[in-house]
């Protein structure tokens, strides 16, 4: 399949799922940073999934039913602007290259939409995600309603297009799996690089720079999310992104970092000793988190419910917390009372795809949905021990998370991120020449 045929096929699949009506899916807006600068532009994931088109100021409109149509609205060619900002396809170029039935200048969107919406029974769009789009599309719908006396009716049904699109995106096709394998490989290389680079006395941001360098030199120009580079006690702050503390001899370093490649995320966490050697207490906690992760990955299998990996991890962590005297009672009572939440307060994973926390429901009705081939998820148990009364002092400020990216396959699963050292022996071997 050519690159652009796969997007046309997705549009057709969405139109078939809609059965009737019209869908309007805008890309992401450009966001000003200050004065004349903008945040790095990132297309909208739903829009990109259906088009492969990365320019800002674009909207795809799909008409379902007997007369299917696939229409792009985008920026016009503009010789002067292209001198400053670079090439733009323009409607004619985009229609030809990306395989749309028609394309128009974005400035004509409201006028054309008012024509296209006429006599359509349903309007599908990402309902409620952006008040400006809600107001704009409902405004166009009102304009169509005003034509009632000429026998034209406006869409009576408003539908959230994400109900269909999220389900499509949840199952990654072989092309998407291939990109995500490559993204994972680049991120694994960055974790290896960081392990070889880290030394006591460095600042967290120096290690962060190694990631950004490794991502970028492989064509992954951006991280998929802000990297967490957290030495010592900072690892116990789950969303620590300051990344500006000095790394101390004897501390652990938790790094949650992954690149985005061709619009797809990777998401990896590794935790390793700043000086290359785990202390006995650090090793005790690390081995428990590692065992919890292994238990979780072993049940990430087709047919198992979404929650099975979380439950498997929790059971191992609860036993470990009892053994380490972090929790009192039995495994059953720790699970029942949720006393483990003092040290493990997040869930064991999420869907992964174009968005790091990707789209897709986790439940079907009241039940956790079964895992299916093509689903991609993270498995990321952890343990975060803040100083507190009753907590053994030698464990204070140890924060550990181990996170891998897992594809559900027909046979079981494939861990995409095995190249990032994970066992105590592998990590210490990787770091052995650091000092």
Whether residue 313 contacts residue 293, with contact meaning beta carbons closer than 8 Å, is answered with yes
CA distance 214 to 231: 20
State the minimum distance, in angstroms, from the CB of residue 399 to ligand GLY. 14
Position 256 contacts ligand GLY (CB under 6 A): yes
Interface characters, 72-91, with Mn ion (x: CB under 5 A): --------------------
**Radius of gyration for the chain, computed over Cα atoms and rounded to the nearest angstrom:** 25
> Where are the extended beta strands (E) located within 239-384?
252-257, 259-261, 264-265, 268-273, 363-364, 367-368, 376-379, 382-384
| CB neighbours of residue 46 within 10 Å | 25
Residue 420 near ligand GLY by CB under 6 A: no
Give residues 229-288 in contact with Mn ion (rule: CB under 5 A).
Answer: 256, 267
Taken in order 141, 142, 147, 149, the sign of the CA dihedral is: positive
Residues in 349-388 at the binding interface with ligand GLY, rule: CB under 6 A = 350, 356, 380
- Based on the shown chain and the rule CB under 6 A, indicate whether residue 197 belongs to the binding site for ligand GLY: no
Q: Are 294 and 288 in contact (CB under 8 A)?
A: no
Is 136 a residue of the active site? no
Cβ-based nearer residue to Mn ion, 52 or 353: 353
Tokens 């990032």 locate to 420
The contact pattern for ligand GLY, residues 213-242, with x = CB under 6 A and - = no contact, is ------------x-----------------
225 contact, one of Mn ion, ligand GLY, none, CB 5-8 Å limit per kind:
ligand GLY
Integer Cα distance of 105 and 292 in angstroms: 54
Work out whether strand 69-74 and strand 102-105 pair parallel, antiparallel, or are unpaired.
parallel
Q: Is 375 exposed, middle or buried (0-12, 13-18, 19+ CB in 10 A)?
A: buried
Q: Is 267 among the catalytic positions?
A: yes
Least distance in angstroms from the C-beta of 313 to ligand GLY: 14
From the candidates 267, 355, 358, 404, give the one annotated as an active-site residue.
Answer: 267
Q: Does 55 bind ligand GLY (CB under 6 A)?
A: no
- Does residue 405 belong to the site contacting ligand GLY (CB under 6 A)? no
Give CA–CA dist 134/137, Å, rounded.
6
Contact 234, 384 (CB under 8 A): no
350 is catalytic: yes
Q: Between 393 and 432, how does the x/- string for binding to Mn ion read (CB under 5 A)?
A: ----------x-----------------------------
Q: Which of 7, 12, 19 is nearest to 43 (CA)?
A: 7
Shortest Cβ 231–Mn ion spacing (Å): 17
* CB nearer ligand GLY, residue 145 or residue 357: 357
Is 256 a catalytic site residue? yes
> Is 96 considered catalytic here?
no
Chain residues that interact with ligand GLY, rule: CB under 6 A: 225, 256, 267, 350, 356, 380, 403
Catalytic annotation, residues: 36, 239, 256, 267, 346, 350, 357, 380, 384, 401, 403
């Amino acid at each position: 399949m050519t690159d652009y045929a796969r997007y046309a096929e997705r549009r057709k699949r969405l139109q078939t799922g809609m059965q009737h009506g019209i869908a309007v899916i805008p890309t992401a807006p450009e966001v000003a940073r200050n004065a004349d600068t903008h945040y790095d532009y990132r297309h909208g994931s739903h829009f990109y999934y259906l088009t492969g088109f990365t320019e800002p100021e674009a909207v795809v409109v799909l008409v379902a039913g007997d007369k299917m149509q696939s229409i792009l609205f985008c920026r016009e060619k503009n010789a002067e602007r292209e001198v400053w900002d670079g090439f733009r396809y323009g409607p004619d170029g985009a229609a030809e290259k990306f395989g749309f039935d028609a394309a128009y200048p974005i400035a004509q969107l409201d006028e054309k939409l008012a024509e296209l919406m006429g006599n359509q029974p349903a309007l599908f769009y990402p309902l409620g995600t952006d008040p400006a789009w809600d107001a704009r599309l409902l405004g166009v719908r009102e304009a169509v309603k005003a034509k009632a006396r000429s026998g034209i009716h406006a869409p009576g049904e408003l539908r959230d297009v994400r109900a269909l699109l999220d389900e499509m995106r949840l199952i990654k096709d072989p092309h998407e799996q291939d990109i995500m394998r490559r993204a994972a490989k680049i991120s694994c290389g960055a974790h290896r690089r960081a392990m070889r680079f880290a030394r006591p006395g460095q600042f967290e941001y120096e290690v962060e720079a190694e990631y950004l360098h490794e991502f970028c030199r492989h064509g992954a120009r951006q991280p998929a999310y802000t990297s967490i580079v957290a030495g010592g006690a900072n690892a116990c702050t789950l969303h620590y992104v300051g990344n500006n503390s000095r790394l101390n001899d004897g501390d652990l370093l938790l790094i949650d970092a992954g690149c985005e490649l061709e619009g797809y995320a990777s998401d990896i966490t590794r935790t390793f000793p700043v000086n290359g050697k785990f202390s006995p207490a650090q090793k005790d906690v690390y081995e428990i988190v590692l065992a919890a992760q292994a238990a979780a990955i072993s049940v990430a299998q087709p047919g198992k419910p979404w929650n099975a990996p979380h439950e498997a991890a929790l059971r191992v962590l609860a036993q470990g917390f009892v053994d380490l005297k972090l929790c009192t009672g039995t495994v059953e009572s720790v699970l029942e009372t949720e006393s483990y939440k003092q040290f493990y307060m997040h869930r064991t994973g999420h869907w992964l795809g174009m968005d790091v926390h990707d789209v897709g429901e986790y439940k079907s009705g009241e039940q956790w949905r079964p895992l299916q081939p093509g689903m991609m998820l993270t498995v990321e148990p952890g343990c975060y021990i803040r100083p507190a009364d009753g907590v053994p002092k030698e464990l204070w400020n140890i924060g550990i998370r181990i996170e891998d990216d897992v594809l559900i396959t027909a046979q079981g699963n494939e861990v995409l991120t095995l190249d990032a050292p994970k066992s105590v022996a592998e990590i210490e071997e990787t770091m052995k020449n650091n000092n």
